[in-house]
Each structure stands twice: as C-alpha cells, then as structure tokens.
Amino acid sequence: MNKNYRPRYHVSVPYGWGNDSNGTIYYNNKAHLFYQHYPHAPEWGPMHWLHVATTDFIHWEQRPVALYPDQPYEVNNGCCSGSAIEEDGRLWLMYTAAQHMMQRQCLAVSDDDGNHFKKYEGNPILTAEMLSPEIYEEDFRDPRVFKKDGTYYLLAGIRYLENGERKEPSPVVNQRENTYPYPPEPSHVKEGWGNLALLKGTDLFHWEYVGHLLYPQPEFSEDFYRLNGVYECPDYFVTDTGEEVLISSPQNLPQSGDHYQNVHSTLYMLGRLNFETGQFKVRVIGEIDNGFDIYAPQTLRMPDGRIIMIAWKEMWDRNFPTAKYGWAGTYTLPRELSTEGDFLIQRPVREIEQFYTNPVKADQIEVGDSEAAVSGIAGDVISLSFELDPATSSKAGVKLFCDGTHETLIWYDRDAGKIVFDRSNSGIKFTGSEENVHVRACPIGQCEKVRMEIFLDVSSIELFINGGRYAMTGNVYPDPDKEMGIRFFAEGGRAVFRDIVKFDIDV
Ligand code: FRU
C-alpha cells in the first residue's frame, strides 16, 4: 500500500487541496479535467483551477495551474467552479468569481492547448443584478455553459427569491450538523430557496435570464423545491436515445429514509428542459451514488459519443485523513453514463480494462454462516467482480481492505433489499459530519442475484451494482503497513458467489 494513501489509477491532487471537477471537456485530442484547487495547504482556501489531461482516462498529464485568483473581483474566495467550451478552436473557461457579498461569472481563454489562460478584460461578464430580482446575488455560481442549435445556454446554481422577496430560510434539517469550517459562512443569514437558473446568450459575453428550473410539480417533494442551500455544480446532457439528464449537487437536502444520507447530495433528474421558460419537467429523481464520497460531478462528451462523468470523490464537512501528508482531494474513476428506463447507468470507463493483469478466477464458492478467502484474491489496487446468490443467508457479501485489525464490509441484506456499505471499522476514523455515521445503504429491492463490480485503489472503493444501475463510493484508510485481504461472508444461512474474477490493476 502507498504509505500516504495516494491512489494509483485515480486522479488525486498532487499537493494542497482539490475539490469539484470543473471544465471537463474533450479538446485537441485529449480529455481535460480541471478542478478546484488551493495550492498552499491541504484545506479549502481561495480557489485556483488545476488542470490535467489524458488520452486513456488512467494516465493524466499534469498541466499548469489554469486560473489563479489574481484579480480584484476574485478577492475572498477566488475562482470557483465552472465549465469549459471550445469556440473557434480556442478553449474558454467560465467560472464564478466569488466574494462574500456577491458571486459573478467570468471568462478566461487559452490559445496554447489549455496550458495558460488569460482572463477576459470585460470580467465579470454576468452578475445576478443583470438578470432578475429573483436571483440572490450572493448565491449565483458554478456556470455550466453549452451550445444548442447555435444558441449558448448556461445553467447555474442559485438561491431563488419567490416574487423577488427574501425569505427566512428553514433551519438545516439534515440529520447531522455541519461542523467542518467550509464553506466560510458570511456573518448574516442566507436567503431564498435553492434552485437552478437557465440563461441564454447569442455569444459567450451577453446573457439573458430565461427562468429557474425547479418549480412545484406532482411527485416532486417540497424538500427539493424549498432547499436550504444551492443546487451546486449543475450539468446537463442529452443521451443518444434523446433522454435529457440534469445533474446537480444540492446542499443540505434532507435525508429521506435510505436516500440523501450525505450532508450534501448528488442527484440526477431525468425529464425535459423547456428552453423557452427554463422549467425542467421532472420524470425521475435519483441519486448518482449512494455511498459516502461523491460530489460535484461533471461530464464531457467523447468523439465516439460516450458521456464520461468525473466527480470529486470526497465530501464536505468531515476530516481529510490524507491532509497530514500534505494533500487532500481525489476524483472518481471516469464513468460512462447512459440511461435505461428510469435508471442512470454508470459503467467504469472501458479504458481501465487495458490495465488488468494477473487474473484470478473462481467459478463458484459457497459460504455457510461463516467467511472464506479465495486463494489469490486479495490486494488493494484491483478490480473484483462476482455474482452473489443470497440463497438462505440474511446478509452476504465481501470484506475488503482486511488488514488484520480493520475491514470494510459490503453486503446484501436480502430481507431489507439493500446493499450496505459499512466502514465503521475501516481504519482512520472520520470526524465532522461522518463522526457517528459509518454506514450507507442503497435500496435495490429483492433480487435473486446481485452483480457487483468493485474497484479498489489504495484508499478508495467504488462499487457498481447490477450493471451500473447503482453505485456506491467511499474512501477508507486502513493500516498502510499491512497486506490487504478479501473475504467472502454470509450470515444467517448460506450464500453462493459465482463467476468471481479479480484483476490487479497495473498502471
Ligand atoms: C461545491 C462548491 C461550489 C463552489 C466551489 C468552491 O463544492 O461549493 O458551489 O463553486 O465548491 O470551491
């Protein structure tokens, strides 16, 4: 194991701090990822954008810092989240210049393959006051720009003031309190309900407000509409089958049973965006990932048509155990997105298969109210897949990152119809919002068989369930001096594991 927990095949910030994925784009024969960055310490600070690029989604070349907070309009919080667009061969970034009392949108452009960016002289190009009294000027951020039929559109996270009136916000009703010092709270109360804005422009510089996306509709609980927070980091794409997908990360979405268990959630909505009114008619709301560590995903479209999503693989309001090694911030394995009925399907990017080595296979093992290891199936930089037949067991699954003292459990609870991800004894303890909450559940219903694909990377677990209908992601920090074992287990009866395949991932 890497002693400092640094993953081998996932993007991680090389030094200092990294949060949200920004500016994902395929440009000049490479996929580019920018992300929120603070170079001077492994904690949030005035934001920069760091940049990496790849041809295989596994090896990423380090590019220079793309944006520094060096302008008067960026003092306080710096260059916050945003997106990228190619225009006449030039690479443009649109980002939020965030100050305590206002958030304004800015542009920067590169003429050298994204290595250096020049800020646009007319910045900031877009302020809340220029749009509508409906938008609260302190919460107007994370522009996602795209072009459709020759018109530019932009989505941004906002707080929406009903009838232009400021409201007393509801108390934070999530199950846990935010104890971690980010975001830096302004001294006064925030107002308005979280929403998303649609804007349109004839070019990248001139914008008009179209409307807000979320409005009361049947099957759409008040919690989504009266959010005490912002729908941060929106994204939007249309699949080849014409399905419209809206992604965003609502702050403080109240927990609802097994859903939205994180302090801040990451959602997809399937539906229809009305480009005349801005309203998004929601058909389905789902969680992108039912695990612990997922936020602010962004997508890009590849020339072959694939939609690839990369998210920040951490969570706000908790400790970051890697900070003691001078860095904090990891990103998910890029995931190929599609839809199937009401599901968003996530598949690990197929390029990862080129790095599979040392296969170990087992056709079938049966475990009866006990646990079993399979010779050759172990490790911490691997992929592991199998089909689980819960048979007569009440719980059955795998123990990962077993270092002799710690282990992380993933199991299917047949009666409850849930997959459970339990990191209560995984290693270094979490503090902050995760202090007393070490379990996440993913309701999948009653299944005769459950297919699991698991990716381990030193301190990272990503689980894809039933062909990518569900995903669960979480970081764990076991003893770095130990070998990492894997055990299959069943409780309350016997379970059968079939078609077990492990590969080492050698990058
Ligand atoms: C989401 C977020 C964004 C903001 C950025 C600041 O995690 O709060 O809304 O632009 O992080 O780093």
Domain encompassing residue 382:
355-505
| Distance (Å, whole) CA 291 – CA 472 | 4
pLDDT band of 183, cuts 50, 70, 90: very low
CATH code for the domain in which residue 79 is found: 2.115.10.20
CATH code for the domain in which residue 362 is found: 2.60.120.560
Same domain for 99 and 206, yes or no, is: yes
Q: Does the pLDDT value for residue 140 go beyond 60?
A: yes
Eight-class DSSP state of 93 = E
**Domain count of the chain?**
2
Which residue minimizes the CA distance to atom 12 of ligand 1? 80
Q: What is the pLDDT of residues 375-397, one digit of tens each?
A: 999 999 999 999 999 999 999 99
CA atoms within 13 A on the CB side of 467: 7
Looking at 309, 327, 348, the residue that finishes a domain is 348
Respond yes or no on whether the N-terminal peptide bond of residue 124 is cis (omega within 30° of 0).
yes
Instruction: Tell me whether residue 9 is in a domain.
Output: no
Q: Averaged over 233-243, what is the pLDDT?
A: 97
Same domain for 393 and 423, yes or no, is: yes
Instruction: Tell me whether residue 406 is in a domain.
Output: yes
Q: What is the pLDDT of residues 294-338, one digit of tens each?
A: 999 999 999 999 999 999 999 999 999 999 999 999 999 999 999
Per-residue b/e over 221-260, b at no fewer than 16 CB within 10 Å? eebbebbbbbbbbbbbbebeeebbbbbbbbbbbbbeebbb
Same domain for 116 and 99, yes or no, is: yes
Ligand 1 center to 397 CA (angstroms): 36
Q: Averaged over 253-261, what is the pLDDT?
A: 93
Q: Which ligand 1 atom sits closest to the C-alpha of 182? A: 8
What is the reported pLDDT for 94? Answer: 98
Instruction: Tell me whether residue 136 is in a domain.
Output: yes
Q: What is the pLDDT of residues 407-417, one digit of tens each?
A: 999 999 999 99
Ligand 1 pocket, Cβ-based, cut-off 6 angstroms: 19-20, 36, 47, 80-81, 96, 141-142, 183, 232-233, 295-296
Instruction: Tell me whether residue 180 is in a domain.
Output: no
Instruction: Tell me whether residue 181 is in a domain.
Output: no
Residue in this structure with the two tokens 């580019």, named with its chain if needed: 32
CA atoms within 13 A on the CB side of 500: 24
Same domain for 449 and 425, yes or no, is: yes
| Distance (Å, whole) CA 98 – CA 375 | 54
Q: Averaged over 120-148, what is the pLDDT?
A: 94
Instruction: Tell me whether residue 278 is in a domain.
Output: yes
The pair phi, psi for residue 79, each rounded to 5°, is: -95, 95
What is the reported pLDDT for 164? Answer: 66
Q: Does the pLDDT value for residue 161 go beyond 90?
A: no
How large a percentage of the chain has pLDDT more than 70? 94
Same domain for 340 and 398, yes or no, is: no
Instruction: Tell me whether residue 248 is in a domain.
Output: yes
| Distance (Å, whole) CA 96 – CA 80 | 5
Q: Where is pLDDT greater, at 51 or 130? A: 51
Q: Are 130 and 104 in contact (CB under 8 A)?
A: no
Same domain for 86 and 145, yes or no, is: yes
Ligand 1 center to 96 CA (angstroms): 9
Looking at 320, 348, 376, the residue that finishes a domain is 348
Same domain for 335 and 427, yes or no, is: no
pLDDT band of 1, cuts 50, 70, 90: low
Q: Does the pLDDT value for residue 190 go beyond 60?
A: no
Q: Are 85 and 22 in contact (CB under 8 A)?
A: no
Instruction: Tell me whether residue 327 is in a domain.
Output: yes
Q: Averaged over 272-288, what is the pLDDT?
A: 97
Ligand 1 center to 84 CA (angstroms): 16
Same domain for 331 and 435, yes or no, is: no
Same domain for 338 and 363, yes or no, is: no
**First-to-last C-alpha distance (Å) of the chain:** 14
Q: What is the pLDDT of residues 5-42, one digit of tens each?
A: 999 999 999 999 999 999 999 999 999 999 999 999 99
Q: What's this model's pTM, rounded to 2 decimal places? A: 0.95
Same domain for 465 and 322, yes or no, is: no
Q: Does the pLDDT value for residue 162 go beyond 80?
A: no
Q: Are 65 and 51 in contact (CB under 8 A)?
A: yes
What is the reported pLDDT for 26? Answer: 98
Q: Does the pLDDT value for residue 177 go beyond 50?
A: no
Q: Does the pLDDT value for residue 292 go beyond 80?
A: yes
Q: Does the pLDDT value for residue 199 go beyond 90?
A: yes
Q: Does the pLDDT value for residue 173 go beyond 50?
A: no
Looking at 348, 381, 402, the residue that finishes a domain is 348
**Residue/partner pairs of 425-432 with CB below 8 Å, 24 or more apart:** 426/401, 426/476, 426/477, 426/478, 427/401, 427/403, 427/476, 427/477, 427/478, 427/479, 428/321, 428/477, 430/318, 430/319, 430/321, 431/318, 431/319, 432/179, 432/180, 432/317, 432/318, 432/319
What is the reported pLDDT for 179? Answer: 41
Q: Are 15 and 21 in contact (CB under 8 A)?
A: no
Nearest to 451 by CA among 395, 391, 384: 384
Q: What is the pLDDT of residues 58-80, one digit of tens each?
A: 999 999 999 999 999 999 899 99
Q: Which ligand 1 atom sits closest to the C-alpha of 312? A: 7
Same domain for 337 and 375, yes or no, is: no
Nearest to 45 by CA among 83, 73, 80: 80
Nearest to 1 by CA among 404, 501, 432: 404
Q: Does the pLDDT value for residue 125 go beyond 70?
A: yes
Q: Are 196 and 155 in contact (CB under 8 A)?
A: yes
CA atoms within 13 A on the CB side of 408: 31
Q: Which ligand 1 atom sits closest to the C-alpha of 232? A: 9
Question: How many residues make up the chain in this entry?
Answer: 507
* Mean pLDDT, rounded, of the chain: 93
Query: 183: exposed, middle or buried (C-beta count within 10 Å: 0-12, 13-18, 19+)?
Result: middle
What is the reported pLDDT for 165? Answer: 66
What is the reported pLDDT for 228? Answer: 87
Same domain for 344 and 394, yes or no, is: no
